[in-house]
Amino acid sequence: MTDQVLEAFDRFLADRPGVRQRLGQPGWALPDPREFQVKPLGNGNALLWRGRSNVLDIVLPGGARDNIILCDAIELGRASLTLNGGGNLVVLCASTKFQAKITIQGDGHLLYWGEGATCNEGTVVMGAGHRGTTVMFGADCMLSQRVTVRAADSHGILDVGTREVTNVPGSIVVGPHVWLGNGSTVLKDVEIGPGSIVGAGAIVTADIPALSTCVGVPARVVRQNTTWTRKSSPTEEQKDQVFRLLAQVGAAVPAPVG
């Protein structure tokens, strides 16, 4: 089974050149699946793991087939992952804390969780019957409590004149080193640039540029040239670490004063 899973992993990414191009770049590490242990989960579903194998409560309803879940070492936390469809790929890079409830409905979706990104309490919803969306969190993102990232509305909105569904699911990219504050929500078809901050209770419905602070409903940028650190009173070295990462991912960081 191992060869089949590895082939399917490579094929999944080869079929998505846009995503493949991003992965492996700074801030978007791609672990080598060949270094992981493979655990068959039935119906072609497989878990590739290293570290603790019991971090994820994986729920695979009857129709779930050929899903691949790669889970690197996660130090703390427990997450639930429901995959209601086929041929989805979940990549969870190594992290110190990951506590989330993830639901993926439909086929061919990608969920990517970047290296060192942390989540205190998050809900991620993807798919809802559609094919091939992506939700990606870059390295060192920080999700606070009660954060919702929703790439699908889960129910259709109809145009009364045309009878068409108007709210198809979309993709979400949360760039490296983005902080999603307490109770914030990110909706479909949104990209948040590296280093940015989403304030408590904000609802993000449109793209947010890099190094911006946005707040409110819908979220609006209230400050530019801002970023954040995990420490309230960071040392110069801790600030340097942040600026190094932002420079690596191409976010323009202003030169230090003086």
Residues that bind ligand COA (CB under 6 A): 144, 181-182, 197, 199-201, 213, 215-216, 222
Pick between residue 1 and residue 222 the one whose CB is nearest to ligand COA: 222
Please state the closest distance from residue 184 (CB atom) to ligand COA, in A. Answer: 7
What's the angle, vertex CA 99, arms to CA 98 and CA 104, rounded to 5?
100
Tokens in use for 220? Answer: 């609006």
- What minimum distance in Å lies between the beta carbon of 142 and ligand COA? 6
Rounded least distance, CB 210 to ligand COA, Å:
16
C-alpha angle 132/134/140, rounded to 5°? Answer: 160
Q: Spell 198-222 as b/e; 16+ CB within 10 A means b.
A: bbeebbbeeebbbbbbbbeeebeee
Are residues 180 and 142 in contact, defined by beta-carbon separation less than 8 angstroms? yes
Task: Write down the least CB distance from residue 215 to ligand COA, Å.
Answer: 4
Q: Which of 59, 200 has the CB closer to ligand COA?
A: 200
From the CB of 247, what's the least distance to ligand COA, in Å? 22
* Residue number with CB closer to ligand COA (40 or 218): 218
Instruction: Read off the tokens for 66.
Output: 């050929």
Q: Which is nearer to ligand COA, 1 or 200 (CB)?
A: 200
Q: With respect to ligand COA, which residue has the nearer C-beta, 49 or 179?
A: 179
Which residues is 71 bridged to in the sheet? 49, 92
